[in-house]
Structure 1
Amino acid sequence: MSRADFHSQHLACAREEAQRLFARKAQLQRAWLGWVASQIYALRPAEYASMVRRELQILQENSET
């Protein structure tokens, strides 16, 4: 499977996962960063974890503006 195919097949799930993780930020406050890092670390395959990380970064950037 090509990288583009993998990306297109898993983008919606990666966005949902990022939203789920981001939603816990207010609840966990200072503990969120360590918690979210452990959640992303557990995701497989690594390409999917990277997608979730990028989507989470987009959510973070959008919340700051």
Structure 2
Amino acid sequence: MASQVTKDFIKEVFSKYKIDKVGAFTYAFNDRSIILLEKAGFTKVETFIEDGIESIYLEKRI
């Protein structure tokens, strides 16, 4: 359910705005968010440490 809602939301964003990518940040230990974003078509771009916590940046492109 959540992955379909996320897919629909991203589709709406791409149709409303003249953009070619959407980005998302999450903590590296947040497996559920990572799985949800990957199911919605996001791919991992970068892993980094901020304030001592490992984080991940993901993108979805048109």
Larger RCO (CA under 8 A, 6+ residues apart) = 1
The normalised TM-score by structure 1 is: 0.43
Higher helix share: 1
Higher strand share: 2
